[in-house]
C-alpha cells in the first residue's frame, strides 16, 4: 500500500460516519489511526506532506514547483519497503474498507504518490505539473498544526464530504463540526453557548408533558447543562457530548 492519501481519506470518512451514526466503534478506529500517526515517523511525515500540498495556494508556477519539491524532501530518508510496511499498519485498521472509492482529491493524491515513488521521468514530470496546477488554482486554505495533526478532532475532516453525505443534520451541528476543525476560540465559545441554549430549550419543551420519572431525569440533565462552562482544553470532547445529547432530545 503506497498511496497514503487514500488511507487519509478513508479515515476521514470513518470519523464522519462515527459522528453521524454515533458509532463508538468507528470513533475508536479513528482514535487508533491518530495514535498510530503520532507514534510512527513515516506515517506522520506522509500526513504532513499530503496535507501541506492539499492546502497549498500558490499562483506562481516556479514557487509552487519549488515548494512541492521541498515538502516532499522529507520522504527521501525512508525506503519504499519501510513506507509500504507503515502504510499497511493503517490499512489493517480499516477492517477491509474499500479505499478505492472516488473522492474530491483522489487525483491529487495519485500525483503526490507518483512524486514520492515513481522512477519514470515522464510520470514524475506529468504528476509534478498536475500538482503545480492544483496549487495555482486552489482557493481552500486549511489550518494544520505543526505537529501534523489538525486542530480538530485530531485529523482533517473533509467538511464538504461530511455535509454532502450527511445533509440531514441540522445546521447548528454542521456549523459545530466546521468550527471544531477550523474555528478560533471566540467562535468555539459562541457555538458552545448556542448548543447549550438549544439543548436547554429542548429539555424545557420535554418537561412540559413529561411523566414524573422522566421529569426527574430531565431536571438532572438541565442542571448539568446549566453548570457547564466553556473550557478550551476540553472543548472537543464537551461539544461532541452536547451535540449527541441534542440529537437524543430531538
Q: What is the pLDDT of residue 124?
A: 96
What is the model's pLDDT at position 103? 86
Instruction: Look up the pTM and report it.
Output: 0.59
Supply 239's cell numbers.
461539544
Q: Which residue has the cell 505539473?
A: 129
Distance CA 60, CA 66 (A): 10
Cα–Cα distance between 247 and 47 in angstroms, integer? 33
Give the C-alpha separation, 184 to 188, whole Å: 6
The pLDDT, as a whole number, for residue 50 is 94
In this predicted structure, what is the pLDDT of residue 182?
A: 66
Report the C-alpha gap between 249 and 225 in whole angstroms: 13
DSSP H or E segment with residue 38: helix 24-39
The answer to whether the CB of 125 falls within 8 A of the CB of 131 is: no
pLDDT at residue number 70:
95
| Number of CB atoms found within 10 A of residue 99's CB | 19
Q: Are 202 and 245 in contact (CB under 8 A)?
A: no
pLDDT in tens, the chain (250 residues): 899 999 998 988 887 787 767 788 988 898 899 889 989 999 999 999 998 998 898 999 999 999 999 999 999 999 999 999 999 999 999 988 888 888 889 999 999 999 999 999 999 999 999 999 999 998 654 434 333 334 444 434 444 444 444 445 566 666 777 777 667 888 888 889 988 998 899 988 888 887 766 777 788 788 888 888 898 888 887 888 888 788 778 7
Q: What does the pLDDT read at residue 249?
A: 80
* Helix 212-226, helix 185-207: angle, nearest 10: 160
Spatial neighbors of 197 by CB under 8 A, at least 6 apart, are none
- Measured distance CA(81)–CA(77) in Å, rounded: 12
Confidence at residue 75, expressed as pLDDT on a 0 to 100 scale: 95
- Confidence at residue 208, expressed as pLDDT on a 0 to 100 scale: 84
Q: What is the DSSP letter of 169?
A: S
Amino acid at each position: 500500500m503506497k498511496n497514503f492519501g487514500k488511507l487519509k481519506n478513508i479515515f476521514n470518512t470513518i470519523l464522519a460516519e462515527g459522528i453521524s451514526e454515533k458509532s463508538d466503534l468507528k470513533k475508536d478506529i479513528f482514535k487508533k489511526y491518530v495514535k498510530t500517526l503520532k507514534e510512527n515517523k513515516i506515517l506522520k511525515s506522509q500526513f504532513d506532506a499530503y496535507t501541506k500540498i492539499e492546502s497549498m495556494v500558490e499562483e506562481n508556477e516556479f514557487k509552487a514547483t519549488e515548494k512541492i519539491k521541498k515538502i516532499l524532501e522529507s520522504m527521501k530518508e525512508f525506503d519504499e519497503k519501510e513506507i509500504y510496511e507503515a502504510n499497511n499498519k493503517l490499512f489493517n485498521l480499516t477492517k477491509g474498507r474499500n479505499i478505492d472509492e472516488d473522492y474530491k482529491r483522489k487525483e491529487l493524491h495519485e500525483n503526490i504518490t507518483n512524486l514520492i515513488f515513481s522512477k519514470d521521468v515522464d510520470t514524475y514530470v506529468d504528476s509534478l505539473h498536475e500538482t503545480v496546477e492544483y496549487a495555482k488554482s486552489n482557493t481552500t486554505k486549511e489550518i494544520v498544526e505543526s505537529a501534523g495533526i489538525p486542530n480538530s478532532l485530531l485529523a482533517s475532516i473533509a467538511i464538504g464530504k461530511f455535509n454532502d453525505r450527511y445533509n440531514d443534520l441540522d445546521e447548528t451541528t454542521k456549523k459545530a463540526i466546521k468550527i471544531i476543525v477550523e474555528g478560533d476560540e471566540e467562535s468555539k465559545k459562541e457555538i458552545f453557548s448556542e448548543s447549550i441554549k438549544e439543548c436547554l430549550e429542548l429539555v424545557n419543551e420535554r418537561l412540559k408533558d413529561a411523566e414524573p420519572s422522566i421529569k426527574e431525569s430531565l431536571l438532572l440533565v438541565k442542571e448539568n447543562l446549566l453548570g457547564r462552562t466553556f473550557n478550551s482544553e476540553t472543548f472537543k470532547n464537551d461539544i461532541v457530548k452536547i451535540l449527541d445529547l441534542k440529537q437524543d432530545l430531538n
